[in-house]
Amino acid sequence: MYRLYSENPSNPRVIEVSQSLDDLLNELDRKLVTKDVIKQKAHK
């Protein structure tokens, strides 16, 4: 479990996420790349 702290000191929220931000971004990248590949295959 990762904890993300908002940078607003007057509203200190803690967001707990199960994945690190890097992991989430990597996953998103993979999905976007996969979509692009599928699109390219569809055009051929």
pTM of the complete model: 0.41
pLDDT surpasses 70 at 1 = no
2-32 pLDDT, tens digit per residue, is 777 777 777 777 777 777 788 888 888 888 8
Contacts of 24 (CB under 8 A, 6+ apart): 17
- Rounded distance, CA 10 to CA 41, Å? 50
Contacts of 12 (CB under 8 A, 6+ apart): 5, 6
The domain segmentation of the chain, as residue ranges, is 19-44
CA quadruple 21, 22, 27, 29: dihedral, nearest 10:
110
SS3 6: coil
What pLDDT score does 43 carry? 79
Q: What is the pLDDT of residue 42?
A: 83
Per-residue model confidence (pLDDT) at position 18: 73
pLDDT(34) > 80: yes
